[in-house]
Structure 1
Amino acid sequence: MRSLDAVEILRRGETIERYKEGGNSMLPLIKSMQPVRLEPIGTRELKVDDIVFCKVRGSFFTHKISKIRGKQYQISNNHKHVNGWITHNSIYGIVTKIW
């Protein structure tokens, strides 16, 4: 599934049961192409260490929230590399299960 398709599904308030994303930046939590469940964030209060599906500087990632500053969220991989700061509007879903 393409990232843009996932965004549209999550914006409609629908859950994606087995989203897969390539890459090793979330090891050992998530392996490359390991399926995860993505649920829309809705009004959910996000917290540090939540794994979210988001857009940072033009790219889509399934990464962790590493810091929260007011209404901004710092997004990082599981190796503490910071991808950048985003707002709630750039977060489309939250990982609720890893298969």
Structure 2
Amino acid sequence: MGAMDAVAGRVAGGATVEFRPTGTSMVPLIRSRQQVTVAPADPTRLEVGDIVLARVSGTVYLHLVSAVDPARRRVQISNNRGRVNGWTGHDRVFGTCVAVDGAPRPGAAAKTRHAEPPA
């Protein structure tokens, strides 16, 4: 189990988690090692452009929602460079990014489930 799997497990359990993901697929929205805060998501409220922590084809990503399909209860996940990771069910969307380096993401707080303070 990798670091992102551990974070996903904590968020799925109801915790709001702060961590520093690595990689460049989300630049300029999230730069490598910037602190992000992820709270448990209400997947039914997600919109295109939201940043979510989700499992797609066995891998956990902190990526963008690029399309929504409410009828089938799923969202499409993509990075910020045009690569589509795929569709995933609401049950595999663990959290939504509510802040990057302490700066709140507009509208993100309204898309969370009840969560505990950051750990």
1:67 matched to which residue of 2?
A: 67
1:76 matched to which residue of 2?
A: 78
1:92 to 94, 97, 110: 94
- TM, length-normalised to structure 2: 0.76
Deviation at 1:42, TM superposition (A): 4.1
What is the root-mean-square deviation of aligned Cα atoms in Å? Answer: 1.6
Q: Which structure shows the higher strand fraction? A: 1
- Consecutive unaligned residues in structure 1, runs of 5 or more: none
Deviates more, 1:69-78 or 1:39-48: 39-48
Deviation at 1:72, TM superposition (A): 1.6
Q: Percent identity?
A: 33
Query: In structure 2, how many angstroms separate the alpha carbons of the residues matched to 1:44 and 1:57?
Result: 20
Query: In structure 1, how many angstroms separate the alpha carbons of the residues matched to 2:9 and 2:85?
Result: 23
Deviation at 1:37, TM superposition (A): 0.2
- Consecutive unaligned residues in structure 2, runs of 5 or more: 102-119
Deviation at 1:8, TM superposition (A): 2.0
- 1:34 has 2:39 as partner: no
- TM, length-normalised to structure 1: 0.90
Aligned residue type for 1:66:
S
Structure 1 stretches of at least 4 aligned residues deviating more than 4 Å after TM superposition? none
Q: Which structure shows the higher helix fraction? A: 2
